[in-house]
Amino acid sequence: MATAIVWFRQDLRLADNPALLAATYAARQMVPVFIWSPEEEGEWAPGGAARWWLHESLQRLDASLRERGSRLLLLRGPTLQALKSLLAATGATQLYWNCRYEPAALRVEAEVRQMLAASGRTGHGFQSSRLVEPGSVKGASGDCVQVFTPFARAFLAQANIDAPEGSPHEIPPPAKWPDSLGFADLALLPTSRWHDKLAQHWQPGETAARAVLKQFVQQHLADYGESRDRADLQSTSRLSPYLRHGELSPRQVWTAVVAALVRKGETEEEAPRGKFCSELIWREFATQQLVLHPALPDRARSGVFDAMQWRNEARELAAWTRGETGEEFVDAGMRELWQTGWMHNRVRMVVASYLVKNLLHDWRAGERWFWDTLVDADLASNAYNWQWVAGISPDAAPWFRIFNPQTQAEKFDPEGAYRRRFLTDSKRPLASLVDLKQSRQRALDAMKRASGR
């Protein structure tokens, strides 16, 4: 085989990239390509924060490819037409890619496979964005498990996670490069310059991802189980955006974490049962839920919520997005999100509960705000986590579990350090939008009406 195309998607790395490595072994010439086609993703095209990250990460991927004698070709969609044109221009007969699992991405991939078969070319799709193929973890009955705890048990019993592979030393270029767009042509950066804030807190790219993983394993993993909920401590991994964009593979993270725990004295069997590995398994479970239920981002799994009378008061929603609800823990979290493109996981649950249950706003309004402002916005995780906090999926926290932001602050920000960090411009306390006790009862009454009890 003379030439192969490597189609980069959400796998913006060279190490442990099975599509890239397979093409390296098989082809004499390779054309790495990224195709920007947000229209194909409909309402769930990448949001502003994710686009900024993508802009930065693509440039770093291109630099890494150039170090190995290659470069990254940039094209504009539709994906199918772009790949057809590229195959014709290069004479390539093989296409390599790593799979995605969002509904729109699966449709595109199916179209690509049909096109390749019709033209006599061969396609090679690989699983690399998750630890296992979604749907492969089965319960005792042979069906996919719909509840997390038994899913986690089955995952640990069934998953066989190989050690990650390295990166190719050389990537042979084609004899002639096809035309490519420039990074600016993709128009990924927000026109408001909002992304200037993000650049103060993050460094996208594979090299930075490895450094963040190393720092977490060395400095924070040992006490992660005890400290992970403390918003005032720098104890979380901050790996989620690197996993989201594929600058790290999940098995790179899994292997590094398990190896570190074994070095600290845990057994090979104990190490994967720790709290951090459980978070990675949660990510696997959310992805399986999206594959099994493609409407997950748009429709509650529990039908009772079709009858819920949401208030959806525009002034309250705007105050929530700006961090001006009058509840300091909520406001600090929302300002952290706006300033950094990220939010501590414990605080994500608190702000989501406040919006859905205290303010009685449709969970999808919060889901979409997170989608646009999170650098780690992943369709499966974002949708499933919002449904979990809202209590509207089969394996969710119950509706009556309503986080009190004041008691949550006392427990997880006991000295107020987190609140002071992100409420620096607050000249005076804001009046709370709602009374916590009264709004809690209002939420319980609304559920009774919706369920007909």
pLDDT digits (tens, 9 = 90+) for 316-337: 999 999 999 999 999 999 999 9
Residues 350 and 421 in one domain: yes
Q: Which long-range contacts (CB under 8 A, 24 or more apart) does 148-155 make?
A: 148/282, 148/285, 148/395, 151/281, 151/284, 151/285, 151/288, 152/278, 152/281, 152/282, 152/285, 155/281, 155/284, 155/285
In what helix (H) or strand (E) does residue 30 lie, and over which residues does it extend? Answer: strand 29-36
d(CA 36, CA 39): 9
Residue in 157, 143, 133 with CA at minimum distance from that of residue 250? 133
Residues 75 and 101 in one domain: yes
349 SS3 class: helix
Q: Would residue 58 count as lying in a domain?
A: yes
Residues 327 and 285 in one domain: no
Considering the chain, what percentage of its residues have pLDDT values greater than 70? 98
Residues 56 and 204 in one domain: no
Residues 209 and 343 in one domain: no
pLDDT of the residue at 427: 61
Q: How many CB atoms lie within 10 A of CB 410?
A: 12
Residues 199 and 313 in one domain: no
Q: What is the dihedral of CA 275, 279, 282, 284, to 10 degrees?
A: -120
Residues 27 and 119 in one domain: yes
d(CA 155, CA 339): 36
Provide the CATH number for the domain around residue 208: 1.25.40.80
Residues 428 and 341 in one domain: yes
d(CA 280, CA 268): 17
E-state strands within 127-204:
none
Q: Would residue 180 count as lying in a domain?
A: no
* DSSP of 75-118: EES-HHHHHHHHHHHHT--EEEEE---SHHHHHHHHHHHHHHHH
- Contact, 417 vs 232, CB < 8 A? yes
- Contact, 174 vs 190, CB < 8 A? no
Who's near 207: CB < 8 A, 6+ residues apart?
Answer: 60, 64
Whether omega for the bond prior to residue 78 falls within 30 degrees of 0, making it cis, is yes
d(CA 375, CA 378): 9
Q: Which range among 206-210, 227-231, 241-245, 307-311 shows the weakest confidence by mean pLDDT?
A: 307-311
d(CA 392, CA 131): 26
End-to-end CA distance of the chain: 67
Q: How many CB atoms lie within 10 A of CB 159?
A: 15
Global pTM?
0.96
pLDDT of the residue at 426: 63
Q: Which of 41, 111, 266, 310 is catalytic?
A: 310
Provide the CATH number for the domain around residue 347: 1.10.579.10
| Reported confidence tier of residue 302, pLDDT bands at 50, 70, 90 | confident
**Can 386 be counted among the known catalytic residues?**
yes
Q: Would residue 138 count as lying in a domain?
A: yes
Q: Which of 386, 388, 399, 404 is catalytic?
A: 386
d(CA 273, CA 153): 9
pLDDT at residue 7 above 90? Answer: yes
Residue in 449, 236, 222 with CA at minimum distance from that of residue 342? 236
d(CA 66, CA 72): 8
| Reported confidence tier of residue 430, pLDDT bands at 50, 70, 90 | confident
- Amino acid identity, position 247: E
Q: Would residue 100 count as lying in a domain?
A: yes
| Reported confidence tier of residue 1, pLDDT bands at 50, 70, 90 | low
- Contact, 433 vs 328, CB < 8 A? no
In terms of residue numbers, what domain contains 226? 130-163+195-292
Q: Would residue 273 count as lying in a domain?
A: yes
Q: Would residue 176 count as lying in a domain?
A: no
Q: Which of 363, 371, 388, 399 is catalytic?
A: 363
- Contact, 406 vs 412, CB < 8 A? no
Joined together, the tokens standing for residue 208 give: 């930075």
pLDDT of the residue at 452: 74
Strand partners, 74: 34
d(CA 238, CA 220): 11
Residues 102 and 216 in one domain: no
**Can 7 be counted among the known catalytic residues?**
no
Residues 116 and 135 in one domain: no
d(CA 17, CA 367): 30
| Reported confidence tier of residue 40, pLDDT bands at 50, 70, 90 | very high
In degrees, rounded to 5, the angle at the alpha carbon of residue 280 between the alpha carbons of residues 279 and 284 is: 115
Residue in 280, 275, 283, 277 with CA at minimum distance from that of residue 224? 275
- Contact, 376 vs 244, CB < 8 A? yes
Total domain count, the chain: 3
| Reported confidence tier of residue 195, pLDDT bands at 50, 70, 90 | confident
Residues 124 and 143 in one domain: no
Taking only the tens place, the pLDDT of each residue in 340-361 is 999 999 999 999 999 999 999 9
Q: Which of 102, 247, 279, 336 is catalytic?
A: 279
Most confidently predicted of 70-74, 232-236, 400-404: 70-74
Q: Name the domain boundary from 292, 322, 354.
A: 292
**Can 345 be counted among the known catalytic residues?**
yes
Q: Name the domain boundary from 292, 313, 335.
A: 292
| Reported confidence tier of residue 393, pLDDT bands at 50, 70, 90 | confident
pLDDT of the residue at 74: 98
Provide the CATH number for the domain around residue 64: 3.40.50.620
**Can 97 be counted among the known catalytic residues?**
no
Q: Which of 165, 194, 266, 282 is catalytic?
A: 282
How much is the average pLDDT of 407-430? 89
DSSP 354: I
In angstroms, what CA-CA distances link 50 with 228, 245, 298, 377, 430? 24, 9, 20, 7, 31
Who's near 268: CB < 8 A, 6+ residues apart?
Answer: 258, 262
Q: Would residue 144 count as lying in a domain?
A: yes
Residues 277 and 141 in one domain: yes
d(CA 230, CA 228): 6
Q: Name the domain boundary from 292, 319, 343.
A: 292
d(CA 329, CA 405): 6
Q: Would residue 189 count as lying in a domain?
A: no
102: left (phi over 0), alpha (psi -120 to 50) or beta: beta
Taking only the tens place, the pLDDT of each residue in 54-79 is 999 999 999 999 999 999 999 999 99
Strand partners, 122: 94
